[in-house]
Amino acid sequence: MNETQPFGCVLLRTAGPDDARLLAQLLAGLSPGSAFHRFLAGLGVPDPALVRGLLRSEIRRGALLALGRDPAEEIALGHACWSVSPDGVADVGVLVADAAQGRGIGTALFRRGVDAARGAGAATVHLDVHPDNRRLVTALRRRFGGAAFTWEHGLLSVDVPVRAALKSGMVVAA
């Protein structure tokens, strides 16, 4: 697939256990840099337990997929998962296939994940970013410059109100 090839219509939907094959293909196709920015580790062939965990859905957690079509089949272009702690803090993780980055898919997944987390009681979104993920660090500082950024365990961390996260227009793809 050519990096500049359009994917046509992109569908965002709730993900579940039946999406394990699509998610495993997405994860296996990530560049080492994209995998590291999302998971802080290389992936290689994704472990089936990791895939299942990323698709888990419960009252305070869920998963989303961004799907497109190439001429032959449906393909996963992105994934987001979210969870809400008992104190109302959401964690939203997003990744986008390398060839689909820069098209707004990560932003759409992030907003849907934050909105779902809000529905599960989240008031705040906590984000941790590796400092080498310059694109995301720049977007965070631009969109949430008034927020308190801290360094925790070698990662840039920021907490933002759900309302601000939904209005940000921030790109958060790995």
Architecture in CATH for domain 11-167: 3-Layer(aba) Sandwich (3.40)
Alpha carbon dihedral 36, 90, 102, 144, in 10-degree steps, equals -110
DSSP assignments along 68-120, one per residue: EE-SSSEEEEEEEEEEE-TTSEEEEEEEE-GGGTTSSHHHHHHHHHHHHHHHT
**Strongest mean pLDDT among 34-43, 67-76, 82-91, 162-171:** 82-91
Contact 149, 127 (CB under 8 A): no
12 contacts 110 by C-beta, under 8 angstroms: no
Q: Encode pLDDT of 20-31 as tens digits.
A: 999 999 999 998
Residue ranges per domain, the chain?
A: 11-167
Q: How far is CA 171 from CA 9, 53, 81, in A?
A: 19, 24, 16
CA atoms within 13 A on the CB side of 41: 6
Helix (H, G, I), strand (E, B) or coil at 132: coil
pLDDT band for position 3 (50/70/90)? very low
pLDDT digits (tens, 9 = 90+) for 46-75: 889 999 999 999 999 999 999 987 666 788
Say yes or no to pLDDT of 5 above 50. no
Q: Is 16 helix (H, G, I), strand (E, B) or coil?
A: coil
Look up tokens 């987001």; give the residue.
Answer: 80
